[in-house]
């Protein structure tokens, strides 16, 4: 059965023209289809090498990676975790899986990433240093970790966040699921956080269909994550389990696809870069359409090309433009509902998040597939221009 008809120009489509078939065939021909096969370890080693981290643990998806990483970071029931307000919902859900509470903090206005000043303000105003990590005076809960999300492929400003974590005794788990291949001050995103998570979902920069990975700077963290990801089985023969674990390990078939995808990451990044530069040039003179910028210290993976629509200057708001594009067979998407507005997390605390709310109203992600042709990109630009007149 086929799924819904595809839009003529989709938002983000995977590109599977490399050695995926060859590697998957190796799995099928040898019978090594489960997590015990050799592509799992190979994919982990090659991603770790690419991101320049010593350890990596492949998981069934990015959400599972976040869940495990938070548990390894020491997050316990009734702890608090500081999370980006403007994000896909997965990191907030992962905190809740542990019975802990996300506290949502605002984005900065320029690049839409978690604002380090919002983190500093929250800690200084609301927390006391009375133990191993800050305690939220209002709730009496331990604030155990910080979970910044590099949204849209652009890195967060990590240095001030690392300083705050060191000064206050917070663990840092970076959600790098949208930013594989990005660099922060020249260094690969995911390499400095202690614990970082990747996703290989169908629309991410490389895909395994579904998959994820935990990147760790310490072997004991990686060992713990791997142990928990395989039902915490302690003995190779006897069914003895040292903890309540999960069935979160990536299968060999999917790791085989990921291994082939990784071989082409550089060319994908290069194509995303030229696509994004073409959009910048073509939209530069359209009043009221402002691309989300790139910080001087950042090299974004440009996962999804995103513009802000200024209704007063453009003559229509982001949602009307979205509908205009959809009518022309062009798939665009708003950003995620900010977490402080999400019905799923209505019981959670949040600092004021005016930037996230404003970015959510204005932002529109445009077609950004690696395989987007120049002709199709031209159609997107022309449809935006025509919407204005």
Tell me the C-alpha distance between 299 and 102, whole Å: 28
No. of H helices and E strands in the chain? 13, 16
Tell me the C-alpha distance between 73 and 174, whole Å: 11
The first and second tokens of residue 216, run together, are 């760790």
Tell me the C-alpha distance between 175 and 66, whole Å: 7
With tokens 């809740």, the residue in question is 96
**Which residues, numbered 159-188, are part of the site for ligand PLP (CB under 6 A)?**
175, 177-178
The angle subtended at Cα 215 by Cα 209 and Cα 220, nearest 5°, is 130
CB of 177 to ligand PLP, least distance (A): 4
Say how many Å lie between the first and final Cα of the chain, rounded: 41
Query: Which residue lies nearer to ligand PLP by CB, 88 or 142?
Result: 88
Tell me the C-alpha distance between 21 and 284, whole Å: 41
For residue 40, state whether it binds ligand PLP (rule: CB under 6 A).
no
Stretch binding ligand PLP (CB under 6 A), from 19-27, 88-96, 111-119, 305-313: 88-96
**Which residues, numbered 195-214, are part of the site for ligand PLP (CB under 6 A)?**
199, 201, 212
Query: Which residue lies nearer to ligand PLP by CB, 32 or 184?
Result: 184
CB of 288 to ligand PLP, least distance (A): 27
CB atoms within 10 A of CB 125: 10
- In the list 11, 149, 215, 387, the residue contacting ligand PLP (rule: CB under 6 A) is 149
Stretch binding ligand PLP (CB under 6 A), from 25-33, 72-80, 85-93, 262-270: 85-93
Query: Which residue lies nearer to ligand PLP by CB, 209 or 245?
Result: 209
Q: Could you give the C-alpha distances from 159 to 25, 107, 165, 177, in angstroms and in order?
A: 44, 16, 10, 19
Stretch binding ligand PLP (CB under 6 A), from 60-68, 140-148, 254-262, 371-379: 60-68
CB of 183 to ligand PLP, least distance (A): 18
Instruction: Point out which residues pair with 215 in neighbouring strands.
Output: 56, 196
For residue 62, state whether it binds ligand PLP (rule: CB under 6 A).
yes
For residue 356, state whether it binds ligand PLP (rule: CB under 6 A).
no
For residue 261, state whether it binds ligand PLP (rule: CB under 6 A).
no
Evaluated on CA atoms 111, 114, 120, 124, the torsion sign reads positive
**Chain contacts with ligand PLP (rule: CB under 6 A):** 61-63, 87-88, 90-91, 149, 175, 177-178, 199, 201, 212
């Amino acid at each position: 059965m086929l799924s819904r008809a595809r839009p003529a120009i989709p938002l983000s489509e995977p590109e599977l023209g490399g050695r995926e078939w060859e590697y998957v065939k190796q799995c099928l021909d040898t019978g090594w289809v489960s997590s015990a096969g050799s592509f799992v370890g190979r994919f982990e080693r090659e991603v770790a090498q690419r991101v320049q981290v010593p350890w990596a643990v492949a998981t069934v998806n990015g959400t599972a990676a976040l869940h495990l990483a938070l548990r390894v970071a020491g997050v316990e029931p009734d702890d608090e975790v500081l999370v980006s307000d403007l994000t896909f919902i997965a990191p907030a859900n992962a905190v809740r899986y542990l019975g802990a509470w996300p506290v949502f903090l605002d984005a900065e206005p320029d690049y839409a990433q978690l604002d380090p000043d919002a983190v500093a303000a929250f800690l200084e105003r609301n927390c006391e240093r009375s133990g191993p990590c800050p305690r939220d005076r209002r709730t009496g809960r331990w604030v155990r970790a910080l979970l910044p999300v590099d949204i849209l492929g652009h890195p967060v400003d990590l240095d001030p966040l690392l300083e705050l974590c060191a000064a206050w005794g917070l663990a840092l788990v970076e959600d790098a699921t949208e930013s594989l291949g990005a660099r922060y001050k020249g260094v690969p995103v995911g390499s400095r956080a202690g614990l970082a998570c990747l996703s290989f979902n169908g629309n991410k920069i490389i895909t395994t269909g579904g998959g994820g990975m935990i990147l760790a700077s310490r072997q004991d963290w990686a060992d713990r994550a791997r142990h928990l990801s395989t039902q915490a089985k302690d003995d190779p023969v006897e069914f003895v389990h040292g903890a309540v674990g999960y069935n979160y390990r990536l299968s060999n078939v999917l790791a085989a696809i990921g291994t082939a995808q990784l071989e082409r990451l550089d060319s994908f990044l290069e194509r995303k870069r030229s696509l994004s530069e073409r959009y910048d040039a073509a939209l530069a003179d359209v009043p009221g359409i402002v691309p989300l910028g790139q910080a001087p210290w950042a090299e974004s993976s440009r996962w999804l090309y995103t513009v802000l629509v200024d209704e007063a200057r453009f003559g229509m708001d982001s949602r009307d433009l979205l509908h205009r594009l959809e009518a022309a067979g062009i798939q665009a998407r708003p950003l995620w509902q900010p977490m402080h507005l999400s019905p799923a997390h209505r019981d959670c605390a949040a600092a004021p998040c005016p930037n996230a709310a404003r970015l959510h109203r204005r932002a529109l992600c445009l077609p950004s597939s690696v395989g987007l042709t120049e002709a199709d990109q031209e159609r997107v630009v022309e449809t935006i221009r025509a919407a204005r007149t």
